[in-house]
Amino acid sequence: MTLATIAADVRAGRRSAVAVAREAIEALRADPYVAVTHVLEARALAEAEAVDAIVAGGGDPGPLAGVPYGVKDLFDVAGLPTTAGARARIDAPPAATDAEAIRRLRAAGAVLVATLNMDEFAYGFATINAHFGTTRNPHDPARLAGGSSGGSAAVVAGGLLPLALGSDTNGSIRIPAALCGVYGLKPTHAALPLDGVYPFVDSFDDIGPFAADIAGLRLATEVLRGEAWAEEAPARIAMLGGWFAENLSPDMAAARDRIAAHLGAGTVELPSVDIARSAAFLMTAHEGGQFHTPGLADHALLYDPATRDRLIAGATLAPEIVERAHRFRRWFAAQADRLFSRWDVLIAPATPCAAPPIADPMIVLGGQRVPARAHLGIYTQPLSFIGLPSLAVPLRACGPLPLGLQLVGPPGGEARLFALAARLEAEGFAGGWPRPGL
């Protein structure tokens, strides 16, 4: 059931929030995808009982009444340590209060039932976690779910929950959304509340929701935002070519071309995208390394070596190199602004290919096999580098495994992204993949 259907049933008294929560808890305890880090049974049932009490009293619990959801394990949940997916934080002091995003969802009637798996400290595109395990793709459990918000994408794709929250620094919502066949939003930078979210890179960090249908994703986003968008359909749509048309698998290239033909969209290019990706890597490593320097000094051996070594390298980058990356970022943002003076929405692949196997977590770029954990963000990283909103849209009839596109807009342009996604869903080109086994 979609989250809107659940909310409508609970508000009308056709289903109880407690019954919905119990079903979700039972499904999450089974967790065939290594997606769940904690099931919050006592809290979930208490929140659900409060929703039912409001309904019984003739009140309205909110637009997400009784909708069960989970959060990536870097959102503060009162009474729990915020692990950020790290063994080093398993015994961290418990959070005193919920993250602001959780408070807003609860005020809208949603019921928090779980925390979800992620790459350690959100540094990766695969959800390969040395402590909590590797999250599996519901559409082929032998394959990666993507990351770093892989647990959030997997529970929605697998039908365990209708809604989940993740974070996106360089692609960590869009990549798992695409690989798992669900919708996911990386908003305009800092448009959604980051209070109570464990940081990684302040320059790029954002939060956003996952859902199986575009209407549900929009509803959840508007709750998080605090207001609805006016309807705003895009009139001028173009495909991003150049860098964004290279290294595509045959299935991804065919899907991209099919959408372009359907929309009658021409091709435009952003200049120097390769440099933008390199600059994003530098800034990520530097800011992340600087933030983690105290932790590395105190307990470096508790870090996953794949995370630790990149953070140490980033912390030692020369300041003049980092400043050059910042200067380039300003120039690159101006180039994007020029494109958006002519186009409302730009479309790009979210990933170059479908989910790689867990046993061989590699992808091919430029004819070379490279680790998926570091390189699945080849198309997402240059766009979040300049804070653009980007909506991951799952494609139908694209091959044996899910693939997704990014709909990209100027800062503040989310309404047009949602309108285009709704159009593609209505016309049969997009939509959440069927639940596994159905």
Q: Which of 75, 47, 55, 286 is nearest to 164 (CA)?
A: 75
Neighbours of 131 (CB within 10 A): 16
Q: Which residues, at least 6 apart from 146, have a Cβ–Cβ distance to it below 8 Å?
A: 125, 126, 127, 137, 153, 175, 176, 177, 178, 179, 180, 351, 355, 376
Residue pair 26/68 in contact by the 8 Å Cβ criterion: no
Is residue 341 annotated as part of the catalytic site, yes or no? no
End-to-end Cα separation, the chain, in angstroms = 13
Q: Which of 16, 72, 203, 384 is catalytic?
A: 72
329 phi, psi to nearest 5 deg? -60, -45
Choosing from 16, 149, 152, 172, the catalytic residue is 172
Distance between CA 367 and CA 253 in Å, rounded? Answer: 16
390 counts as catalytic: no
What count of residues does the chain have?
Answer: 438
Sheet holding 111-116, edge to edge: 36-39, 111-116, 68-72, 163-168, 206-211, 183-186, 390-394, 404-408, 345-349, 237-240, 266-268
Strand, coil or helix: 40: coil
CB count within 10 Å of CB 412 equals: 12
DSSP 67-115: -EEEEETTB--BTSB--TT-GGGTTSPBBSS--HHHHHHHHTT-EEEEE
Q: What is the C-alpha separation between 7 and 213, in angstroms, rounded?
A: 14
Cα 389 to its chain centre, rounded Å, is 12
d(CA 220, CA 184): 11
Which is nearest to 177 in space by CA: 192, 163, 195?
A: 163
- In the set 148, 149, 152, 203, the catalytic residue is 148
Q: 421 by DSSP, 3-state: which?
A: helix
> Is residue 72 annotated as part of the catalytic site, yes or no?
yes
Please state, in angstroms and rounded to a whole number, the distance separating the CA atoms of residues 308 and 292: 9
Tokens found for residue 249: 């698998």
Which residues are part of the catalytic machinery? Answer: 72, 148, 172
